[in-house]
Amino acid sequence: MNKLKISFEHEKFPLKDGFTISRGKRDVIEVIKVKITDGVFKGYGECSPNVRYSQSISSEIDKLKLIKKFMKNTSVDYNNLKLVDLCGPGPASAAANSALLDYKLKKMNKTIWEYLKINEPKFIKTMVTIDISSLEKMLKKAERYKKYKMFKIKLTGKNEDFNKLNKIREIYPKKNIIVDANESILPENLKNYLTICERLGIEMIEQPMRPEFDQLLTNIKSKIIFCADESCRDISDISKVKGYYNAINIKLDKAGGLIEALNMCLSAKKYGLLVMTGCMMCTSLGIAPAQVLASYSDYVDLDAPLFLEKDRPNSMNFDSGKISVAKKILWG
C-alpha cells in the first residue's frame, strides 16, 4: 500500500458585500485546503479558523504539520486513523478528517451515503443569514432571499436591533425567523430581547450571552428556543450546556470532523436537545461533509457559499433554500 501524504494550502475568497456579526466585519474569508493522497487517489477537506477561539491560519497549519509528521513517520492504517486524537477537536482536525474520508470514499468508489448506508436526499434545506448592516441594506438582503423559508437575523446587542426586527417582521409576517446574538446581549438586557422576540414570534435565540452567563438561562420560562453555539464547541461541552439550552449548533470545524459531529448529534439527542447544523464562512468544500449531519438535524444553516464572489469549481447549487447534494468530484 502506498504511503499516505498530506499537504495543505492557505486560500482566500472575497465576499460579495462583506459579512458582519457582532464581533466585526469580514470582506474576505481565509481557509485552509487539505489534500490527502496515496499517489493515485486524492481526498480533499477545508477548514476556517475562528479568531473567537484564538485560532488562526498559522495556528491550524502548525497542527496540520504535526499530522504530516505523524503520517510521514508512522505506518498508518487509514481505516483506524483518528486524526482528532493528534491535535484535538477544531479546524485542523476537521479539514484533515474530511480529506481522509474523501480519499477513502474515492478509493472505495463509494459515495458518503453508500458508505454510511443512509439514503441520499434529493437536496438539503437551509436557512439564510441576514448579517448586521443598516436597516436599508438588511431589508435589501431579506428581499433578495425572500424565497428562503427561514431567516437567521444577526444581532448587535444594541437597541438598534429592536427596530430592525420589528421592520423585518412587519414585511415578512409569516416568515420563520431566528436570531443569533453571537454573545452580544448583556445580561441586564436579556429580558428586553425575550419580550420583543416573544411578541414577534421569533423561534430561537442563538448564543444570547457569553458562556459565563449561561446559568442565567436556567429558570427562564419561554417558548423561545435557546441554542448554544460558542458555549458548545465539541462533545465534551454537551453535558455542561444541557441544563441551560434547548438546542446546540454543531459545526464540523468545532467538532473536529464529520464523524465527531455525528457523535455530537447522537449525544445531543440523547439529552433531548435539538440540533442545528452550522458552518463557518467557507466554500462548498467546507459545506459538503456537513450535508450528512444536516440530514439528521432539526435546523440547518449551511449558507456560507451564498456570500462568496466566486465559489470553487463543481460547487453546490443554492436555489431558494434548497442545496444540491455535493457532486463526488467535489467531495464524498
Annotated binding site: 180, 206, 229
Averaged pLDDT, 294-301: 98
Residue 87: the pLDDT is 85
Looking at the chain, the whole-number percentage of residues with pLDDT higher than 90 is 91
Contacts of 201 (CB under 8 A, 6+ apart): 169, 177
Q: What is the DSSP letter of 281?
A: S
Residue 80: the pLDDT is 58
Q: Looking at the predicted structure, is the pLDDT value of residue 74 above 90? A: no
Q: Looking at the predicted structure, is the pLDDT value of residue 265 above 60? A: yes
- Spatial separation of the C-alpha atoms in residues 159 and 156, rounded to whole Å: 8
Averaged pLDDT, 1-24: 91
* Domains of the chain as residue ranges with CATH: 5-110 (3.30.390.10), 123-324 (3.20.20.120)
Residues tagged active-site: 154, 251
Averaged pLDDT, 1-6: 80
End-to-end Cα separation, the chain, in angstroms:
22
Beta bridge partners of 227: 206, 247
pLDDT, tens digit, for every residue of 51-66? Answer: 999 999 999 999 999 9
- Spatial separation of the C-alpha atoms in residues 240 and 67, rounded to whole Å: 30
Q: Looking at the predicted structure, is the pLDDT value of residue 81 above 80? A: no
* Of 112, 104, 45, residue with least CA distance to 78: 104
Confidence of residue 82 (pLDDT cuts 50, 70, 90): low
Task: Please list, residue by residue across 48-73, b when 16 or more beta carbons sit within 10 angstroms of its beta carbon and e when fewer do.
Answer: bbbeeeebebeebbebbeebbebbee
Annotated binding site for Mg(2+): 180, 206, 229
Confidence of residue 86 (pLDDT cuts 50, 70, 90): confident
Q: Looking at the predicted structure, is the pLDDT value of residue 202 above 70? A: yes
Confidence of residue 83 (pLDDT cuts 50, 70, 90): confident
Element counts in the chain: helices (H) and strands (E): 12, 14
